[in-house]
Amino acid sequence: MAAPIEEFPDLRVSVDDVVYMPGLETPPGKPHPFVYFISIHNRSDVSLTVLARKWVVRERGGETTVVEGAGVVGQTPVIPPGQHFSYNSYHVVAREAVANGAFFGETADGRRIFARIPEFTLKLPAKEV
């Protein structure tokens, strides 16, 4: 039986910025791209590896998109004690939305852990609403 996954309070996620980027290419039906900047802070005394992520994007009007996968932007970063890992990525939406989720990983001593990604808004500029 696999070890349970526990919320790890010393792994903190911050949403550093969210930027509307109308110049990015988007798929039909999802014309609004947002780039977000995330930092994952290891405030514990053990190294940890981020192995996966899960995003939930809920658009105004009801559509929910769930994105799950291995790693973070193609990496499985090892974050030493007191350090952080920062990256940026993007979501595309049809209308304003809120996003949140979690990162999943493992500590150097083998504990399976997760940390919540705080909810943030993908707010369209007034001219786009």
- The predicted-structure confidence for 26-81, as pLDDT tens digits, reads as follows 999 999 999 999 999 999 999 999 999 999 999 998 899 999 999 999 999 999 99
Strands (E), 1-129: 5-7, 11-20, 32-42, 48-59, 64-70, 78-79, 84-93, 97-107, 112-122
Reference 40, options 50, 52, 55, 30; nearest CA is 50
Rounded mean pLDDT of 111-126?
95
* CATH label of the domain that carries residue 96: 2.60.40.1470
Confidence of residue 1 (pLDDT cuts 50, 70, 90): low
What residue numbers bound the domain in which 87 lies? 5-128
Rounded Cα gap, residues 28 and 62, in angstroms: 18
- The predicted-structure confidence for 81-116, as pLDDT tens digits, reads as follows 999 999 999 999 999 999 999 999 999 999 999 999
Q: Is 126 helix (H, G, I), strand (E, B) or coil?
A: helix
Reference 117, options 60, 44, 68, 45; nearest CA is 68
* Domains held by the chain: number: 1
**pTM given for the model:** 0.92
